A and B are shown apart, each in its own frame.
Chain A
Amino acid sequence: MYRQMLLIRRFEEHAAESYAQAKVGGFLHLYIGEEAVAVGALHGAREDDHLITHYRDHGYALVRGCDPGAVMAELYGRATGVAGGRGGSMHLADASKHFWGGHAIVGGHIPVAVGLAMAQQRKKTGLVVIDVFGDGATAIGMFHEALNMAMIWRTPVVFLCENNLYGMGAHLAEQSPVKQLVDRARGYNMPAAQCDGMDPIDTCRVMHEACEHARRGEGPYFVEALTYRFRGHSMADPEMYRSREEVREWRAKDPIPAFGKVLVEHGVASEDELQRVDKEVEEEVLAAVRFADESPPPSPDTVFDGIYAAPVGKRP
């Protein structure tokens, strides 16, 4: 867990650097500060449980086992990227790992998870779907349609809301009359729980309960992870909407040193071991950056390929 959180952190620090060098284009939404949510949540689920997320997806891709080089190459828009350079930062996916994206229309993927979960029910796979989105998405109609349908059909889906308090630059209080987002789920008679999104163990525990509830056939579950992003909404965000004090307060709860401290206190790892992990992760990320840098861009010959699974003649 510690290694995974650190991998996300270092990966994103380097991604930000590459963005500043214009090697990464478009939007880059960093997950820094929220690492414990992805790590804890996926440890609470089975490795092959289905996963579908919002666009702040680097952490999920890495924890799900996507190769850091292929993820970085996707940010670089290279042919070796997880989506062949067609998706970019917001659209990472690896269907072979049951990771169905990376979705950039806020809330648009939330009800897709309901259908995917229904397919698990019908095919009796024993798998559940983890459906990740932010606090901002709970204002969108599709969120409500999804919760409603998931409860009607008792589909095995776990709605994981990362409440980082801001939908882009607007505070949750400006966007929602409901302070506790779990209350939104309760409005649909859906069981719901909060977890400390700065603590991977607590997140893992709550998510495990939620996943097993869904796996037992008892229907959907809603988890609200209380967390905070240390960086702006995207690299383009000057962060005029929140105070430095607030950011400082949350930074003091940084999940990585906090969890490292827990590991040392419980004798699970020594300071030296943690430093060694940091060094190894740094090397892994540098290798990923090198891989991305050296990878070729997608061939122009492929630009019209794959618009359809079954193309009709030469007509797009």
Chain B
Amino acid sequence: MTVEISYREALQQAIREEMRRDEDVLLLGEDITGYGGSYAVTKGLHEEFGLDRVMETPIAEAGIVATAIGLSMGGLKPIAELMTVNFALLALDQIVNNAAKFHYMFNEQWSVPIVVRTVSGFGQLAATHSQTFEGWFASVPGLKVVMPATPADAKGLLKTAIRDPDPVIFIEHSLLYSRRGPVPEGDDHLVPIGEAAIVREGGDVTIVAYSRMLVEALAAAEELASYGVDCEVVDLRTLRPLDVDTVAGSVSRTHRAVVCGEDWRTGGFGSTLVAEIQDRCFDTLDAPVARVAMADVPLPYARNLEKMLIPTAHSITEAVRGLLSIGGRR
């Protein structure tokens, strides 16, 4: 049985259920109590769990993540909320040099079971507030990086992340919060970290996406179907550890791939995906792997300029058309 709820509600359910299940789980972040969280994910949680377990912090991103790390070393399971991924840069040292390192560098004496929840997205917010850095986080051994696209995955992955003994960077998307979708009922819905999902089967081309780009990929696949092009859509869900097997398996069947992301083309996560695909699928590819990514521009404020740069379903259909115009086995 499933219920239809929003991505935001799914996240809140995950947090609420895990906090009820384990009293060591606690939340900390900026404006997450009275204000309700800047994207209202934590709204009302302090009323059920008290200000001891839903902790308001000063504006100090490095301090927030460091506190979470210290709490985890003392036996707690903290979820740190960083208001947006842009602000997570201030905590990069804590995430990369501490959270990702302790387990390995101190020879497995302790792990860092924290979840850092943060948000990417855009919407006329200009250059400093419209970025996404999943490729940076995903380049760091020791971190797990999760980017759910659907309410069901948002809930199931967040619950798994909270129970996971390693540091998980959990990146939500501001434009997905209000989207609704079916979520399995009950408090035992878990989605494993490190497993991509084939969300639409097709034989002509593989579209690899995650987070909001999955929505765009499915829309593109729908449109292309009306032209008789049969797309397979893979939702990565986890960027690190990367489920290369599922991606390569799909591309080996379709012989063509489009890799989608909202981060910059240069050094973006798609670069890694392309490298993995060519490494595993070179002999079966009928065309070069195509990229859909943000142009290398600090995103401008003006509506027309922003719209011109944001990758959309249209960008994906164009990329697929480009691939199909290249000769192959069909």
Q: Is the CB of A93 within 8 A of B67?
A: no
* Nearest-CB residue, chain B, relative to A129: B70
Nearest Cβ on chain A to B83's Cβ, whole angstroms: 16
A245: shortest Cβ distance to chain B, in Å?
38
- Who on chain B is nearest to A83 by CB? B107
Docked-complex contact A119 and B70, CB < 8 angstroms: yes
Give A72 to B186 CA distance when docked, in angstroms. 54
Residues of A within 8 A of B166 (CB): 308-310
Contacts A119-B70, A148-B63 given; does A306 touch B141 at CB 8 Å: no
In the complex the two chains form, is A83's CB within 8 Å of B105's CB? yes
Interface digits, B93-124 against A, CB 8 Å rule (1 contact, 0 not)? 11001100011111111110100000000000
Of the 9-residue stretches A15-23, A107-115, A206-214, which lies at the interface with chain B? A107-115
A141 to B111: give the CA distance in the assembly, Å.
25
Q: Which of A80-104 contact B (CB under 8 A)?
A: 82-84, 86-87, 91, 93-96, 100-101, 103
Complex CA distance for A91 and B98, rounded to whole angstroms: 12
- Residues of A close to B194: CB separation below 8 A: 312-313, 315
B290 at the interface (CB under 8 A from A): no
Chain A: CB-nearest residue to B195: A312
Flag whether B75 is at the interface (Cβ < 8 A): yes
Check if B144 sits within 8 Å of A308, measured CB to CB.
yes
Interface segment, one of B9-17, B240-248, B264-272: B240-248
Give per-residue flags for B186-206: 1 if the beta carbon is below 8 A from chain A beta carbons, else 0: 000000111000000000000
Contacts of B68 in A (CB 8 A): 115
Among A103, A116, A310, the residue within 8 A (CB) of B73 is A116
| A119-B241 in contact (CB<8A) | no
List the one stretch of B54-62, B293-301, B315-323 in contact with chain A: B54-62
Chain A count of residues within 8 A CB distance of the other chain: 47
Cβ–Cβ < 8 Å partners of A145 in chain B:
58, 60, 62-63, 66
Rounded to whole angstroms, the CA-CA distance of A115 and B112 in the bound complex is: 12
User: Distance in Å from the Cβ of A117 to the closest Cβ of chain B?
Assistant: 7
- Bound Cα distance from A82 to B78, whole angstroms: 28
B76: interface (CB < 8 Å): yes
Whether a CB of chain A sits under 8 angstroms from the CB of B261 is no
Interface residues on B, range: 35 or more
Is A122 in the interface zone, CB < 8 Å from B? yes
A247 near B: Cβ within 8 Å?
Answer: no
A312 to B93, CA, bound (A): 25
B29 in the interface (beta carbon within 8 A): no
**Could you tell me the distance in whole angstroms from the C-beta of A85 to the nearest C-beta in chain B?**
8
Residues of B within 8 A of A116 (CB): 70-71, 73-74
Given that A84-B107, A309-B111 are contacting pairs, would A112 and B164 also be in contact in the complex, using a CB cutoff of 8 Å? Answer: no
Residues of A within 8 A of B165 (CB): 308-310
> At the interface, yes or no: B69 with Cβ under 8 Å from chain A?
yes
How far is A286 from B105 in the complex, measured between Cα atoms in Å? 27
User: Which A residues lie within 8 Å of B241 (CB)?
Assistant: 311-313, 315-316
CB distance from B315 to the nearest CB of A (A): 29
Taking a contact as CB atoms under 8 Å apart, the answer to whether A119 and B76 are in contact is: yes
Residue A4 lies at the interface, judged by CB distance under 8 Å to chain B: no
Chain A 296-316 interface mask (CB, 8 Å, partner B; 1/0) = 000000000111111111011
Tell whether B142 is near chain A: CB-to-CB under 8 Å.
yes
* A39 interface hit (Cβ, 8 Å): no
Q: Kindly provide the distance from the CB of A123 to the nearest chain B CB, expressed in whole angstroms.
A: 6
Partner of B193, one of A94, A141, A312: A312
Would you mind naming 19 contact pairs between A and B with Cβ atoms under 8 Å apart?
A84-B107, A86-B104, A86-B107, A87-B106, A93-B109, A105-B93, A112-B67, A112-B69, A112-B70, A112-B94, A115-B72, A145-B60, A145-B63, A146-B63, A148-B60, A149-B57, A309-B165, A310-B166, A313-B241
Extra 17 A-B pairs, beta carbons < 8 Å, given A86-B107, A115-B72 = A83-B107, A93-B106, A95-B110, A100-B73, A103-B98, A108-B66, A110-B66, A111-B63, A112-B66, A112-B69, A115-B78, A142-B93, A145-B58, A309-B111, A309-B166, A316-B141, A316-B241
The 5 closest A-B pairs by CB, nearest first: A119-B74, A115-B70, A312-B194, A111-B66, A145-B63
